[in-house]
Amino acid sequence: MTTSSILRKDTITCLMNKKVCGLSGDIYLRGHRIQPDNLSVYNTQRSKTDSALGMGFVQAILAVLSGAVRGCTFDDDTRTGKVTIASLGASGMYQMSWDRRGTDLLLGGFINGPAYQAAMVGLVMEVVRSTAESHGNNALVSAWYTLLRQMDACYPRTDTSMGWDSRTIRTACENTAANTWIRKAIENVADELYFAMCYPLPDISTIRGVFVQESSVLHGHEGTTRLLSNELMNPYTVDERDMAGAKAPSTSPTETRLPDGDLDGDLDIDLDVDTAPACDPDTKTPPTTAPAAPKSPKPARVRKPKPEPSSAEESTKKADAERAEVTRKEMAAADAKAAEHAAAEQKKKILPVVGTSSYERINRAFCRPGGLFLYGETATGKTMWSKQVAIANGWGLEIVVFKPGVKDEHVYGTSVQNEDRRWEWRDGPVVSWARRASKGEKVVLILDELARGHKSVADGVMDLLNTYTADELSAMGIPIPETAGPYHIVRVFDTMETFVFPIDLVKIIATANLGDSYQGMDLSDPAFRRRWTAGFYQLDPYTPQELAQILAKHLDIPATHALISALIRADQEVQAYQAKEESLVMETNLAILINWGIDVKRWAATATKTRGRVQIKDAFITAAKDVWIDMVCPLKGSRRDQTVFTALVNIVTRHAPEIL
């Protein structure tokens, strides 16, 4: 059920009066004031001493910096669009939308009310307007790109289309000389974003209503043009002439800052940062290239027009000039320190971005016509990368997870009895995929763990992969769509429906574990394999370097930490043991290592401290027994094989670190 719309005042109030910006490590708190130099160009008539910094806006800015925006699609006029946002405290994704076709700004997809994600949608909307139309609120977009440049100057990224990790963002918020320009830019972006959401810029004589609602404000087929991640996160491809600062309005804003008040409540749709589990780094949009680290730029500030001084102001011109000179020197010193820090960081060895090789290969296949089949060992990212590629390219998703007993008819749909005991049809994932595509939406169908399905599924999948020309459709008596082919056909015999849609609107990706250890349906038929024209790929296991980076993100510790090194060494010896003895039910994998590391940290947090250091050797061994040893150990009779169990415990003990 859709919740009632919430007026602009309530929406903006929640953004302004959020208690604390958790992503900053609680550095930014409600009550922080914006420095006069960092005010919006539209803020010329506002009091220079009473401009509050809204924590909801700051939280939104830092969330976008972290790479939480995973995709965006919009219509050609940019008045409507959809934004895919990752939850910061869980592994979920949220589909939010905007509609500014009227005088008010409508936002949809906010299941828990006007949370800070509303400001994230507002920022993405303005970047879309600027990049797609070469105009829009350039002051906000210029301030946003200035912030990205300042972040790169102090904390260079390995790829400028990606965000920063949570630890780096918290460090960047600290009130240090090196972060001076970053903190200034955060304030400037927040104030520009406030005005962009409150007024239909550049005319600020009329306050714009901002309405949020639980359901989307768009239909499924609206929003088809994709915003590339580098257009949102990479300021170095932007034409500086298009990013010139906007002129200040001649009309004075009639609204004042909303009063302080505790209206934050529990409106955020993610968990509290301090108590939430670590973000899943594998859901981050990976790079398709690895450009060189950007040069340290000079701060690009938005110029603010200054009113002509009155006679009363003439007496203070000298004092203002002196203060300006002091400020200039402070800025120059901060620039020099930031450049020095950036140069030092660039000299450090930067490990490759996690999953880059797998992502690049899958992304190349995604750009080719036809279906894609991925197979390999468990926990190598087959399903995760499939979903991420689809989201990063701005496509919708339909997912089927196969298991023994799932037949071809189950994935199409079935008839169920309603409350009146009458039978009615319910679409399955395949029919839902076809229905969405026939309406013009780009949709990916992911067939997860395909080998575990019933043998009838293989024939159904082959039928889905078949393509037809316009002449073949005409010969079969099927109406030819207006969009050029070739086409896919999906027939639903229970409802007597036939869906026809161009192959350019859809993609089929299947994943499976193949080999002697996975006895599912036979997928070795050449007729089945040749239909996967986009690629039939095996994904290799993660390298030790990739494992270290993934574990670092999940455990929130450096990749070189002793705990991560111990986990990887133990995993390698277990793999070697299995290759020699072939006695384990299954091998250790990424998921096991993550859970093991999390449990070690939990044990270590409560362990007895000795000489100021936490003993974790016992925690390392105990966590292994609790999390995975019995899972991989075979049975001997009705009990576990004690010989194998002892061998695994000995492996863990040999690699257990002494201290944390």
| Selected residue with higher pLDDT from 441 and 224 | 441
Q: Of 230-234, 268-272, 618-622, which range is least confident?
A: 268-272
In terms of average pLDDT, the best of 103-117, 176-190, 528-542, 615-629 is 176-190
Single-letter amino acid, residue 255 = E
CB-based contacts of 553-557 (< 8 A; 24+ apart in sequence):
553/165, 553/278, 553/279, 553/281, 553/354, 554/278, 554/280, 554/281, 554/594, 554/597, 554/598, 555/278, 555/594, 555/597, 555/598, 555/601, 556/166, 556/167, 556/278
pLDDT tens across 296-348, in order?
A: 444 444 444 444 545 545 555 565 556 556 555 655 665 565 555 544 444 33
User: CB under 8 Å to 215, separation ≥6 — which residues?
Assistant: 2, 108, 109
Segment 520-541 shows an average pLDDT of 79
Percent with pLDDT over 70 in the chain: 70
Helix (H), strand (E) at residue 86? strand 80-86
- 508 & 594 share domain: no
Residue 144 lies in a domain: yes
- 18 & 132 share domain: yes
> What's the pLDDT band for 557 if we cut at 50, 70, 90?
confident
- Among residues 539, 554, 575, the one where a domain terminates is 539
| Angle between the N-to-C axes of helices 138-154 and 55-65, in degrees from 0 to 180, rounded to the nearest 10 | 60
Q: How many domains does the chain have?
A: 3
Percent with pLDDT over 90 in the chain: 12
DSSP annotation of 394 reads T
Compute the residue count for the chain: 660
CB 285 within 8 A of CB 394: no
pLDDT of residue 523: 67
Which backbone phi and psi does 127 adopt, to 5 degrees? -65, -40
- 548 & 492 share domain: no
Residue 296 lies in a domain: no
CATH number at residue 382: 3.40.50.300
- Among residues 508, 539, 570, the one where a domain terminates is 539
Question: Phi/psi class of residue 204: alpha, beta or left (left: φ > 0; alpha: ψ in -120 to 50)?
Answer: alpha
Structural domain containing residue 227: 8-239
Both tokens assigned to 401: 């997870």
- Among residues 505, 539, 573, the one where a domain terminates is 539
Segment 142-157 shows an average pLDDT of 88
**What is the C-alpha to C-alpha distance for residues 593 and 578, in angstroms, rounded to an integer?**
16
pLDDT of residue 403: 72
pLDDT of residue 646: 93
Which backbone phi and psi does 607 adopt, to 5 degrees? -75, 160
Segment 10-38 shows an average pLDDT of 85
- 22 & 100 share domain: yes
Quickly count: other Cβ atoms within 10 Å of residue 193's Cβ: 27
Residue 104 lies in a domain: yes
CB 637 within 8 A of CB 644: no
> Is 74's pLDDT higher than 70?
yes
For residue 104, the SS3 value is coil
Residue 383 lies in a domain: yes
**What is the C-alpha to C-alpha distance for residues 631 and 180, in angstroms, rounded to an integer?**
51
- 513 & 558 share domain: no
> Is 653's pLDDT higher than 90?
yes
Buried b (16+ CB within 10 A) or exposed e, 513-546: bbeeeeebbebeeeebeebbebbbbebebbeeeb
Segment 205-221 shows an average pLDDT of 75
User: CB under 8 Å to 477, separation ≥6 — which residues?
Assistant: none
Residue 1 lies in a domain: no
Residue 489 lies in a domain: yes
- 34 & 172 share domain: yes
Segment 181-198 shows an average pLDDT of 90
Residue 346 lies in a domain: no
> What's the pLDDT band for 36 if we cut at 50, 70, 90?
confident
**What is the C-alpha to C-alpha distance for residues 645 and 623, in angstroms, rounded to an integer?**
14
> What's the pLDDT band for 184 if we cut at 50, 70, 90?
very high
| Selected residue with higher pLDDT from 202 and 117 | 117
Edge-first strand order for the sheet with 396-401 is: 396-401, 443-448, 506-512, 372-376, 535-539
- 495 & 579 share domain: no
pLDDT tens across 423-440, in order?
A: 888 888 888 898 898 888
Q: How far is CA 66 from CA 85, 167, 482, 556, in A?
A: 11, 10, 41, 14
- 62 & 110 share domain: yes
- 514 & 550 share domain: no
Nearest residue to 650 via CA among 642, 658, 640? 642
Mean pLDDT of the chain, nearest integer: 75
**What is the C-alpha to C-alpha distance for residues 250 and 202, in angstroms, rounded to an integer?**
10
- 645 & 530 share domain: no
Helix (H), strand (E) at residue 445? strand 443-448
pLDDT of residue 327: 54
Helices (H), 519-560: 526-529, 544-555
- 409 & 384 share domain: yes
Helix (H), strand (E) at residue 315? none
- 592 & 526 share domain: no
In terms of average pLDDT, the best of 108-122, 236-250, 603-617, 632-646 is 632-646
Residue 318 lies in a domain: no
Segment 484-492 shows an average pLDDT of 87
